[in-house]
Structure 1
Amino acid sequence: MHALAITDILSILTLGAALGFFGGLFGIGGGIIAIPFLALAFGMEQALAQGTSLAMMLPILIVGWWRYTRQHPVALGTALPLAVLASAATYGVAQVATGLDSGLLRSLFGVFLVLIALRMLTGRRPAGNADGAGVFDRRWQPLVGIPGGACMGLLGVGGGLLATPIFTQVFGQRQTVAQSLSLVLVTPCSAVALLTYGRAHQVDWSIGLPMAIGGLLTVSAGVSVAHRLPERSMRLAFAWMILATALWMLLKPLILQGPW
């Protein structure tokens, strides 16, 4: 971590505000935008970009979890085992991720972005079954914490994107309930991942904390604007942007013929 001038702090606050706004606007975690930006624009190693992004995301997730679960509470008997399994998976995988080669980790993140973009371009937002029936009994829902937590540990993002469609399509939950369950999963995972990346010195707090403050100031505004704009047009535009970013992350080493 390094000392920053006031002008640098103001610039990072502004960046965090922009990321928070667009995260709220597109209904997708700000880390999906922040990580490639930190890696490509700031030249950070991939693990450092993921850890720094977690410092920005965690306060926003805590606020989002608190606000969402007030409207859609999750029973303690479901929330606790889900959070524990997810956190354990996050911790174990994050221990490995912080030691991976940066190029490999960045390639994995790029492939993840491609898959997310293609899903947004070709699929519809999942909805729960109208009759509430699922493929499996809902007592097995805490097991979703294992793949969701592993994704958070490896990439610093994506646990909710992976878990939400499982809750709706496999367990027959309504979309709002699935999103509440995903926040129960992702919020403690983000805390565990942040601590693990921080212990491995893969967090730049001088950038992550000002970004978090900026994001907290604008995420609600992004959500409000999203409700007034055509959802399909926004999701398509965001998907194309994510796809272009992912392809650049994957192809940049080949184009430059050298280390990142």
Structure 2
Amino acid sequence: MIRARLARSVRRVANAAAPTTTRPDMRIVALVGLAAGALGGLFGVGGGLIIVPGLVLVAKVERRLAHGTSLAATLPIALASLSTYVAHGNVDWAVAPLMAIGTVTGAVAGTKLLTILPKRTITIVFIVTVLATAVRLLLATEATGRDNLTAWSGVLLVVIGLATGTLSGLLGIGGGVVMVPVMVVLFGMVPVIAKGTSVAVIVPTSIMGTLSNRSNANVDLKVAAVAGGSGVVSAIAGGVIADGISPGVANLMFAFLLLFVAGTQILTLRSDHDEVAVG
């Protein structure tokens, strides 16, 4: 009798600690994808800034699974955005391959960290990344076009790509929140070209990260397909709008959006608190 009761108690504790495997409402996932697509096209990011909070807070997806699924969902959105930026000649094809060398390597490292780090730590890294990007964008920056690439600037682009890819794999974001400000601030690239170049780098990054996440069972491909597919149309529209927005206005809009996203994620820290002990 005592042994049976103990066994039932252990099962109850295990079931309470285990994340829910119930698939979210696909209508909600589609709406999240639409919002993410518009963000991806307008600001040159993969859309993970919207997909991750949307899946966690609205669709109630477990955080690690949400991050991995988000990275997969950014692929169709990035491809749709890229088509618009390419059509307008807003991609720097000399910079994109150098950054991609680093991002595809970093994406694998980031997905490994996703399986190791506590959820609370992942959330805090996400918030800090978003806030740092927003603050930097609020500071005025002259961007008149980049200088000719040198060996040192090429190495710097690869290193930046490595760091960005690691964050992408860990946080489920395409990496545009890091790449766009870096290209504008450090290399003087015009924002719309920085956005187009960022989207070009996001494509291989999301492919590599998703393959790694799938091997770690940290991605729901059906949810990713719905979110990414629904974001394709809005991504194209966002890319067209981005071509006509002044750099100052675009940076301001992006910064305030990032501040809002950071605020929503701060609210999740309490629910992730138990992961500090469990890991």
**Do they fold alike, i.e. is TM over 0.5?**
yes
Asked if 2 retains the 8 angstrom alpha-carbon contact of 1:149 and 1:159, the reply is: yes
Letter in 2 for 1:74: W
- Which residues of structure 2 form unaligned runs of 5+? 1-20
Task: Give runs of aligned pairs for residues 84-163 of structure 1, distance below 5 A.
Answer: 84-120=101-137, 122-124=138-140, 127-129=143-145, 132=147, 137-140=152-155, 141-157=157-173, 159-163=175-179
Q: Does 1:167 align with 2:186?
A: no
- Find the counterpart in structure 1 of residue 34 from structure 2: 17
2:230 to 214, 229, 239: 214
Instruction: Tell me by how many angstroms 1:205 deviates.
Output: 2.1
Identity of aligned residues (%): 27
Letter in 2 for 1:117: A
Distance 1:227 1:105, change over 3 A: same
1:41 to 44, 58, 67: 58
Instruction: Tell me by how many angstroms 1:26 deviates.
Output: 4.8
Root mean square deviation, CA, Å:
3.4
Task: Give runs of aligned pairs for residues 211-250 of structure 1, distance below 5 A.
Answer: 211-225=227-241, 236=252, 239-250=255-266
Q: Does 1:187 align with 2:203?
A: yes
- Which residues of structure 1 form unaligned runs of 5+? none
Q: Does 1:203 align with 2:219?
A: yes
Letter in 2 for 1:47: R
Distance 1:26 1:258, change over 3 A: same
Letter in 2 for 1:86: T
Distance 1:181 1:54, change over 3 A: same
Asked if 2 retains the 8 angstrom alpha-carbon contact of 1:117 and 1:240, the reply is: yes
Instruction: Tell me by how many angstroms 1:227 deviates.
Output: 5.9
Asked if 1 retains the 8 angstrom alpha-carbon contact of 2:143 and 2:191, the reply is: yes
Distance 1:24 1:45, change over 3 A: same
TM-score (norm 1): 0.77
TM-score (norm 2): 0.73
